[in-house]
Structure 1
Amino acid sequence: MTKTPVAGFGCLCACGTSAETCFEGALTGRARFDLPGARVNSAYATSYPVFLAADEIAKACPAGESLSLHYFLTAADEAFFHAGVFPAELAAKKRVGVIVGTSVDASFHCFDLYKNNRAGTPRPGDPQELAHYFASSPALAASRHYGFKGPFQTVVTACASGTDAVGLARSWILSGLCDAVLCGGTDEINLIPYDGFTRLLIATKDRCRPFDKNRNGINIGEGAGALLLMNEETAREFSVRPKGYVLGYGNACDAYHPTAPDPDAKGLKKAISFALKDAGLAAQDLAFVNAHGTASQANDAAEAAAFNSLLKGIPVWGSKGVTGHTLGAAGAVEAVLTLTALNNKIIPPTFGFQEADENVGVAPVQTKTPLTKRAALSDSLAFGGCNAALVLGAEDYDG
């Protein structure tokens, strides 16, 4: 096992504007849960509430910049701050890559292009304008923003995008392709996912209830998580004290169905097994699992099948009761929350969970739970049969 240092991380979502305040929200249940209002022009906008990030962050978004990109750069700035590293200095001395996971930002500008073409008002073919429509645009924009010269990639594996971005960043470090990688995920509330999930009949008008007997659907959320990964040499050169470690990563696509998970969780079981093998750890080495836990009937049942098979007896925490389902950002937001929980040696409650479902067989933690083990697993499931998992280590992990 080779552990990859996390030099710094940042986060924002409905329960906070920084990694610290997000974790405070996870502990207390404080989160902004409301109707989307003018954010979406939808017939459902008066019926289905969402988890919204703070208005002051959105108001600071520069003209011409997508809100998803703004969220990511805000979280990335926090990651650099906590790492104690200036991006320009890092760019001048090291090969720095950027990987951004998203499910919306890579396509949202295409929606504008479609509307303009339908209206007969397409914009001129300006190269900068056209760059918005490229699949790599969020990572490209972030790379240019910080002046990095290394490779960049936007990952779009639906709701596993953030997890895959962090895992891929680890592989770039281990392969020697990069000395450091800025990675994570980001997504904003907008019409495409809002109407999409509502029309799939998996959204709920209530606050979501992960793994609960009476769970009845998901709440869309928004936000971003950013992690700055480095190799050991770069961390030493910049006098970085790691805030945690990426210990292992696994992914697997079972291609079971375009929008439904495999009930037997074959792909997720493989992803978890690959991540544990990469980390050189066994299930009993884990302090907890940060579950995908969307509170849909199908997701929670499939995820529980994997946990009961591979992670029996390991405490399960579901964080979407305070973050909502942040789509492509989810895996990155949850990676930051997992590291913060490890560093604070406490598992937050699973807000929304009230009554165990005997048909699922997983009852997540309901109270603040102290922990002693220094590693945890975070997993993601996504449309198209995409599954991904990360094993993360605390800042004092010495394995």
Structure 2
Amino acid sequence: MTSNRVIIAGTGCVCAAGRTVEETFRGALSGEAEFSLPTARVQSAYTDRFPVFMVTPELVASCPEDRSLSQHFFLTAAQEAFLQAGISPQALASKRVGVIAGTSVDASFNCFSVYNNWRAGKPSPKDPARLAHYFRTPTAGAISRHYGFKGPFQTIVTACASGTDAIGLAKSWLLSGFCDAVLCGGTDEINLIPYDGFIRLLIASKERCRPFSKNRNGINIGEGAGALLLLNEKTAQEFSVRPRGYVLGYGNACDAYHPTAPDPTAKGLKKAISFALKEASLTADNLAFVNAHATASQANDAAEAMAFNELLPGVCVWGSKGVTGHTLGAAGAVEAVLSLTALNKRILPPTTGFEQLDETIGFAPSCGETAVLKRAALSNSLAFGGCNAAVVLGAEDYYG
């Protein structure tokens, strides 16, 4: 093994399709997930018209009062990642363990309930512990303190690219010697602001989303978390870890085209994909598939298709939001976990929701279970503000 390998020791996932990686992947294969009108925790005038992908009520009910739902989702996924790795958080006490959490809701709207109570005429909480519940430390700090880690932590808020950016930064921390291990990923809960926001931008669908379809008409909001425990080679050897995969490359670029719309020429996405492939020392010919952002909005899918047709001709395209929904800051991490699972199981699920070929797109995404032969895949994310990110993952047997 060489010293520049970033090892994925374990992964975890929770979303509408399942509470574990295995459950979620089965949901991706079958196309089954929790898809319905929002529950009462989303107070919106649109909840009778725009369905969402929500986690189970049982998972929501198990959230402690002093923790946000987003943090609860992340810790649930992280617990699975540690179990899969065969390493307890306590065993890493002497190591420099970093935490990088990508999110949108948990960093931006975590005091929303204070304002709701104030508008309803309810008194503000006077107990400092209750204040801390409302004005929470950004996600990564809360996760790091929960485990008692001594390393650095950072919360990334690059909208819907946050989860992918978290993985990329974690790779950098490990290769620079800044950390021995990094718990990274993304998490988000359904919240009124993004729910109403996408509806008012006229890019939300009243039906189940149809990625890359000619008749696509918008996104479905989702929620959940994806977590990855990454190790440097020395730490992996010390704990006799069997790699679940590898982070081979990462790229990020901002096109600064529009606050809420992707550049129709996909300039930034092309750069991000190119950077990631170059860092991985791979070409399109080495990829088994690309897990597209595939929100099913007209603009997103068209921009992605332009990038894929130019840079990744012939590479199989998969979109997984038809079973997870758009989990915002969690999307990149959830999709990275699913991509790695597909590589290791050697099977690619169908793109749930795809119905009709769009000639302007130029390809049909995966339409049935597809055999995965090559040992690397790319997963990319697009976000408001012109953020574009891509990560290249290697299977557990990538190095033989």
Question: TM-score normalised by the shorter chain: which range applies?
Answer: over 0.9
Distance in 1 (CA, whole Å) between partners of 2:281 and 2:145 is: 36
Q: Which amino acid aligns with 1:336?
A: V
Q: Which amino acid aligns with 2:34?
A: R
Residue 203 (structure 1) aligns with: 204
Distance in 1 (CA, whole Å) between partners of 2:131 and 2:173 is: 29
Q: Which amino acid aligns with 1:284?
A: D
Moved more, 114-123 or 286-295: 114-123
Distance in 2 (CA, whole Å) between partners of 1:232 and 1:204 is: 45
Residue 87 (structure 1) aligns with: 89
Residue 238 (structure 1) aligns with: 239
Distance in 2 (CA, whole Å) between partners of 1:69 and 1:130 is: 14
Distance in 2 (CA, whole Å) between partners of 1:193 and 1:125 is: 30
Residue of structure 1 aligned with 2:39, choices 31, 37, 40: 37
Correspondence 1:100-179 to 2 at 5 A: 100-116=101-117, 118=119, 119=121, 121-124=123-126, 126=128, 129-130=131-132, 133=135, 137-179=138-180
Residue of structure 2 aligned with 1:5, choices 4, 7, 14: 7
What 5-or-longer segments of structure 1 have no aligned partner? none
Q: Which amino acid aligns with 1:367?
A: G
Q: Is the 1:68–1:188 contact (alpha carbons within 8 Å) kept by the matching residues of 2? A: yes
Q: Is the 2:66–2:133 contact (alpha carbons within 8 Å) kept by the matching residues of 1? A: no
Q: Which amino acid aligns with 1:46?
A: D
Are residues 131 and 62 of structure 1, via their aligned partners in 2, closer, same or farther at CA, if it must alter by over 3 Å?
A: closer
Moved more, 32-41 or 333-342: 32-41
Distance in 2 (CA, whole Å) between partners of 1:122 and 1:193 is: 25
Distance in 2 (CA, whole Å) between partners of 1:153 and 1:129 is: 22
SS in 2 for 1:196: helix
Residue 66 (structure 1) aligns with: 68
What 5-or-longer segments of structure 2 have no aligned partner? none
Moved more, 108-117 or 320-329: 108-117
Distance in 2 (CA, whole Å) between partners of 1:238 and 1:113 is: 44
Q: Is the 2:243–2:396 contact (alpha carbons within 8 Å) kept by the matching residues of 1? A: yes
What's the CA shift for 1:117?
A: 5.1
Residue 269 (structure 1) aligns with: 270
Distance in 2 (CA, whole Å) between partners of 1:132 and 1:275 is: 38
Q: Is the 1:107–1:133 contact (alpha carbons within 8 Å) kept by the matching residues of 2? A: no
Q: Deviations over 1:227-252 (max 9, x none)?
A: 00000000010111011110000000
Distance in 2 (CA, whole Å) between partners of 1:211 and 1:255 is: 24
Q: Is the 1:290–1:338 contact (alpha carbons within 8 Å) kept by the matching residues of 2? A: yes
Q: Deviations over 1:49-108 (max 9, x none)?
A: 001112221111111211110000000000000000010111x22100000000101122
Distance in 2 (CA, whole Å) between partners of 1:269 and 1:303 is: 9
SS in 2 for 1:93: coil
Measured on the aligned residues, the alpha-carbon RMSD in Å equals 1.5
Q: Which amino acid aligns with 1:268?
A: L
Q: Which amino acid aligns with 1:55?
A: P
Q: Is the 1:25–1:322 contact (alpha carbons within 8 Å) kept by the matching residues of 2? A: yes
Residue 334 (structure 1) aligns with: 335
Correspondence 1:226-375 to 2 at 5 A: 226-375=227-376
Q: Is the 2:113–2:134 contact (alpha carbons within 8 Å) kept by the matching residues of 1? A: no
Q: Is the 1:6–1:227 contact (alpha carbons within 8 Å) kept by the matching residues of 2? A: yes
What's the CA shift for 1:257?
A: 0.4
What's the CA shift for 1:3?
A: 2.8
Are residues 174 and 127 of structure 1, via their aligned partners in 2, closer, same or farther at CA, if it must alter by over 3 Å?
A: farther
Q: Is the 1:100–1:183 contact (alpha carbons within 8 Å) kept by the matching residues of 2? A: yes
Moved more, 381-390 or 355-364: 355-364
Q: Deviations over 1:275-299 (max 9, x none)?
A: 0011010111000000000000000
Q: Which amino acid aligns with 1:44?
A: Y
Q: Is the 2:102–2:187 contact (alpha carbons within 8 Å) kept by the matching residues of 1? A: yes
Q: Figure out how many residues of one structure are paired with residues of the other and give that number.
A: 397
What's the CA shift for 1:388?
A: 0.2
SS in 2 for 1:62: coil
SS in 1 for 2:101: strand
Distance in 1 (CA, whole Å) between partners of 2:261 and 2:7 is: 35
Distance in 1 (CA, whole Å) between partners of 2:245 and 2:266 is: 29
What's the CA shift for 1:125?
A: 8.1
Identity %: 70
Q: Is the 1:106–1:133 contact (alpha carbons within 8 Å) kept by the matching residues of 2? A: no
Q: Deviations over 1:16-41 (max 9, x none)?
A: 11001111111111111000021211
Residue of structure 2 aligned with 1:54, choices 53, 56, 60: 56
Q: Which amino acid aligns with 1:320?
A: K
Q: TM-score, normalised by structure 1?
A: 0.96
Distance in 2 (CA, whole Å) between partners of 1:277 and 1:129 is: 47
Residue 97 (structure 2) aligns with: 96
Residue 28 (structure 2) aligns with: 26
Distance in 1 (CA, whole Å) between partners of 2:202 and 2:227 is: 31
Q: Is the 2:67–2:133 contact (alpha carbons within 8 Å) kept by the matching residues of 1? A: no
Q: TM-score, normalised by structure 2?
A: 0.96
Residue 187 (structure 1) aligns with: 188
Q: Is the 1:349–1:367 contact (alpha carbons within 8 Å) kept by the matching residues of 2? A: yes
